[in-house]
Amino acid sequence: MLSIKEHIELKPYTTLHLGGPADFFCECTSVYELQDALRFAAGREVRVHILGGGSNTIFSDSGYQGCVLKIGMKGISYVEDGGDILVTALAGEDWGSFVQLMVEKGFSGIECLSGIPGSVGATPIQNVGAYGQEVKDSIDSVKVLERATLNEITFSNTECNFSYRTSRFKTTDAGKYIVTSVTFRLKKNGRPTIHYPEVKKIIEASVDLSTLADGRDSLIAARDIVISLRKKKSMVIDPNDPNTRSVGSFFLNPIVDADVLQHVCDVWTTIGDGSPVPTFPFEEKKKIPAAWLIEKAGFKKGTKKDGVGISENHTLALVNYNGTVDALLRLAMEIQSGVESVFSVRLEREANVIA
């Protein structure tokens, strides 16, 4: 039975542990409950925010005037397709636990996305990626609920219009659909796909994957290394590590053309230490690590100000020590202005701020 609660504090539902109360709150454990909750909100003529794992969401200090619907649908099913396995996970499944289960079953394709907080349903919206993998490379289809009609629709991979940290669900169709399940095409008894230099270097130094006859063993080895790397950067949720009270990477890595990159290189030649500007290829452009830009613009790990700060272990993570959303956003704007004044590059927020 649908349970609508009133004046519920949102802090416990986000990894930042910030944000005021929602006027209305409902955890939907089925598509039917989700449809009923949307009807309730329409009847009250209040706006709706869809909440997954809260790992990329920042509510304001005053809370949310409207109805927050937390996606709580759980369930995983499997269909074999030759050497592949089609795995359908309902949107409320915890992403980290889902990846761990796939690795333990020997299904490859998302092993480098281990340890990322959040829910399965959120991953296609911003095309979650890390360490050389993106979910778009493994997603077969995405089932959604159309908010206007309350009907379910299935989009194929190509119809999702995936790009770097985005999709149709974040751009042209933002707010139009609610993801209810995601189907992944994974390899049975597959081996890890290692493209990211940092991960590849550690794996080569610590384990010879070719000696592991079982694909499952090699996937577990790769996952363990990814988890270890993320923990060192405080990017795995840990109640004993205050640096994990964040939304992960707060800013996107900027994608620049040749002229902008040349300007950044010219600036760094003038103010830098002689080291090259780090870049990664992205189609016909280049991607510059936002963390590098932030550090070279003068912002240091461990900086604290007004109860918030920059993580001691990762420059891209802005942390809530005991502050407010206003203080966090002021720090974010200060970093954006600082980077832009030095390198003429405007950092774009990856975090989703709900006003």
270-297: pLDDT as tens digits: 999 999 999 999 889 999 999 999 999 9
Task: Report the sign of the C-alpha dihedral through residues 22, 19, 252, 193, in that order.
Answer: negative
The token pair at 281 is: 């290829």
Calculate mean pLDDT across residues 248-272: 97
Would you tell me which CATH number, out of the four given (3.30.43.10, 3.40.50.300, 3.30.200.20, 3.10.20.30), belongs to the domain 5-71? 3.30.43.10
Answer whether residue 207 shows pLDDT above 80: no
Candidates 165, 191, 223, 245; catalytic one? 165
- The confidence score (pLDDT) of residue 132 equals 85
- Nearest-5° angle of CA 213, CA 215, CA 216? 115
Task: Report, in angstroms and rounded to the nearest whole number, the Rg of the chain calculated over CA atoms.
Answer: 21
| 3-state SS, residue 174 | coil
Of residues 63, 65, 69, 64, the one with CA closest to residue 51: 69
Is 111 catalytic? The answer is no
pLDDT band at 201 (very low <50, low <70, confident <90, very high): confident
Question: What is the residue extent of each domain of the chain?
Answer: 5-71, 76-232, 242-354
| 3-state SS, residue 103 | helix
- The confidence score (pLDDT) of residue 234 equals 96
Fold of 76-232: 3.30.465
Is 165 catalytic? The answer is yes
Answer whether residue 204 shows pLDDT above 80: no
The token pair at 178 is: 């609610």
Is 249 catalytic? The answer is yes
CB atoms within 10 A of CB 333: 11
pTM of the model: 0.92
- The confidence score (pLDDT) of residue 114 equals 96
Answer whether residue 213 shows pLDDT above 60: no
Candidates 138, 181, 249, 311; catalytic one? 249
- Higher pLDDT pick, 197 / 79: 79
**Which DSSP helix (H) or strand (E) runs through 86?**
strand 84-90
Answer whether residue 227 shows pLDDT above 90: yes
Q: Which CATH class is domain 242-354?
A: alpha beta
| Calpha distance 202→222 (Å, rounded) | 10
Calculate mean pLDDT across residues 88-109: 97
- The confidence score (pLDDT) of residue 245 equals 97
